[in-house]
Amino acid sequence: MRLSRRGLFGVALAALLALGALYELWIPGEIAWEPAQLGALTAERADGLVLQDARGGEVWASRGYGLYRSRAGGAFERVAAIKPRLGPAWAGYSRTFRDSQRYQELVEAMALDERTLLVFAGGDAYRVDTASGGTERVHTLRYFGPGRGRGLMPHGLTRDASGAIYYGEYATGAVGPDETIRVWRSRDAARTWEMAHEFAPGAVRHVHAVQWDPHGAALWVATGDRDAECRIGYSRDGGASFTWVGAGSQTFRAVSFLFTHEAVTWAMDSPRAVKRVVRWERASGALRESRAELPHPGYYAAARGGERGVITLAETSASLWLVERGEPRLVHEWAVTPDASRPHPAVRLLRPDAQTTEALLVNPLRTREREAAILRLSLESLAQEGVKPSHAQAAVRAHDAAR
């Protein structure tokens, strides 16, 4: 018997509904921290999670569409789940499907207060009450889905000192000749949204980073990907206008920023160009590139006190690096299986506006080891041991010897 098109749709709908029901049954309610080793470093791990946010001693993570919270260093407990609108996004309910696609980042979440989350999932933004389990859809993304984009990047979401929330649009498909790319803002805890900034058609392909700089009290933005589309700058008026630090080359192609008292630093996200760590000095406005070259594109960055921070490299690598005054040192590299047809390996870090504890949280994705595990490292051990020599250090030594 052959089913009509309407009948096939009904069968598919029933299957998706059943899948959603099964999802609610098997998703774990608690995920504990377990002892782990990261090279020479002693760590703890919480398996099967994607790192999201940290506020006031709480760490937030996701697993599929499930949302988890760890309080005071304890186990992650499931507190809520997002149910996106019926459609292709429902395939994400299946762990088998997620694993087959090697794609775990179904949501991007920010804690608004101790019981409320802002969650982007399936092309929409939701306010989630973790106490009642209630969800409210508050915004729809313009660039989401096959041929359009992933909506926003992990570090394309931030909150400023006044509490206003911003995100930048991330399109990956063809953008029409009259279509624009925007930075959006909410001044009322994500209930309503307005345009903060709009790039002219064709000016940029998408926004990589939107981040609040607590030292300079400014909103920083990075865009990509081709030379003419790359720019980095900051705004002190909520995105109405920007002072551009630089534009027009791969030097200004970045995915996140490392904010310290003296400088703003980024790792170049440039697969086919020579890659370095770039440091913009606040006092002089001068740009300084690291002596060491980076072997792979840089994705995420976070300050760790003083003029020190960490960056992670991605795409054909998944590695963690210490950066001090703009010079990188390799800490650890996870084994990966590069595959151009799949999402790239990466190592997530918390966004700079997240409030962290004394631990460093890192989250390798699409790696052979510790895939989708949140790793908790002590900053003391990270500073004192486990830093490996690398060809980046060798390049610095060769550079210094030639001087």
pLDDT tens digits, one per residue of 53-103:
999 889 999 999 999 999 999 999 999 999 999 888 888 887 787 877 778
Who has greater pLDDT, 233 or 57?
Answer: 233
From 97-106, 347-356, 376-385, the region with the lowest mean pLDDT: 376-385
pLDDT at residue 199 tops 90: yes
pLDDT at residue 402 tops 80: no
Full-model pTM: 0.89
Predicted pLDDT of residue 289: 98
pLDDT at residue 287 tops 80: yes
From 120-129, 173-182, 223-232, the region with the lowest mean pLDDT: 173-182
Predicted pLDDT of residue 153: 96
Instruction: Provide CB contacts within 8 A for 389, sequence distance 6+.
Output: 330
Is the domain 31-74+153-402 a CATH 2.130.10.10 member?
yes
pLDDT at residue 217 tops 50: yes
By the 10 Å C-beta count (0-12 exposed, 13-18 middle, 19+ buried), 178 is classed as: exposed
Residue 383: pLDDT band (50, 70, 90) is low
pLDDT at residue 136 tops 60: yes
| Extents of the domains making up the chain | 31-74+153-402
Residue that the structure tokens 């300084």 belong to:
288
Between CA 60 and CA 217 the distance in angstroms is 25
Share of the chain above pLDDT 90, in %: 69
